[in-house]
Structure 1
Amino acid sequence: MSGSHRLTLLRHGETASSGLLGQHDAPLSARGRQQMQQRWRELDAVDPVRAIATSDLARCRDFATGMATPMACHIDMAFRELACGALDGRNPAALGAADARAWQQWQTDPANTLPGGEDWAAFTARIDAGLRRWLAGDGAGGHHVLVTHGGVIKALLLHWLGLPPARHGQFWPGHAASISVWWDPDWPPVLLDLRLEAP
C-alpha cells in the first residue's frame, strides 16, 4: 500500500548535561555521539535509511543533520521533548519540596502537569500531528528515521497502544534506543524491532 514503510524512532544519545532536560538545549557528549553512530550503523544495515526527521533541539538535530547528506533532513519543533516548565534543565535531586512533589506526581502519572509545563494530551497531539504531517508530505519510500527524545517515544507508544499516560513507566528507552515499526497511515503501526538498551 502507498505510504507504507519501516519507521524507526531513535532516541538521542548521552548528553553533556544531566538532569531533567525537557526542552533545555543540551548537546550530545562524545559518548553520546558514539552511541548514535553505532545504533545508526545497525539500523542502516537492516534497512538503508531513506528519510530523516528530527527535533530541533541540539541533542537530536546535530546528529540528524550530520547523517542526512545527501538526504534532506526535516527539522520540526513538533518532535521536541515535553516542556517541563519551571523544572526544565534542573537536577531532580536539587528541587525544593513543592517541585520535588510535583515531579514525583508526574512520574506516577504524566497527566499531572508539571508547574508551567506542557499538558500530556497536548504533547501527544503535537507529536502525532507532526509525524503524520512529515510522513504524508515526504514522498520518499523506504526506511524513515525520526531522531527524537525519550518522552516523545513514550507518548507515541502509549498512543499507538491505546494506553493511559500512567503506563509510561513500562517504557524506558535508553540513550540511542530505537523502536522500529511498519507504518501504514490507515492502520495501527506493527512492531518490527525494539532496542531499549543503550549500545
Structure 2
Amino acid sequence: MKRTGLYFGTFNPIHIGHLAIANHMVEFSELEEVWFVITPVSPFKKKSSLLDNHHRLEMVYMATEGYAKLKPSDIEFKMEPPYYTVNTLVYLEEKYPDHKFSLIMGEDNIKGFHKWKNHEVILEKNDLFVYPRLSVGETVPAFKEHPKIHFVDAPIMEISASFIRKSIAEGKNIKPLLPEKVWDYIDRMNFYK
C-alpha cells in the first residue's frame, strides 16, 4: 500500500508555502507522496475570484514538475458537486485500492473539522496530518489525543493565496512567493489584475 497524502485546496494560485508544506510531509512523515487535489469549488469559499479549473491545474503541474513525490490531481473535476472530502475519499479508495490515503490540513482547519460532513467516517478510515498555522480558537480536545491525528512539526507558512491575488491586483512584485513557472504563467495570462 502506497501511503499517499491528499492536500486539498483551490490552489488559486499554488505558491511556495503549499510546496514547502507538501515537501515537508513527504520528507518528514510516513507519507510517501502527496497529491494536490484541486477543488473546483469549496463549500466554504465564494466562487467569484476563482480561476477556471484548467488554469489552476496547469499551475499545479508547473509547480510540481521538479518534485517526484508531489503530484497534481484533478479527481474532483470528474465528480458531481457538492465536493465533500468524505465523498472524494470513497471515490479515490475505489479507484486506487493499492493506496492508503491520509489528509493533510492546517491547524486552522482541524479546529473546524468536527463540522465537516461525516468527519467520524473520515477518521475511521484515514489518518490526518496537521501542520501548524498561526490561528485563533481551540482545537477540539478529542482531536488533540486522537490516534489518527498526527501533528507534524512543519515550518509555519503564513503565505496566503488571497494575499498573493490582492498584491498582484495592487501591482506589487510578489514573484518570490511563487514557483517561477507559475509566476510567468500568471503574468503572461494577466491573472488577478
> Is TM-score (shorter-chain normalized) higher than 0.5?
no
TM-score w.r.t. length of structure 1: 0.36
Structure with greater contact order relative to length (CA < 8 Å, sep ≥ 6): 1
TM-score w.r.t. length of structure 2: 0.37
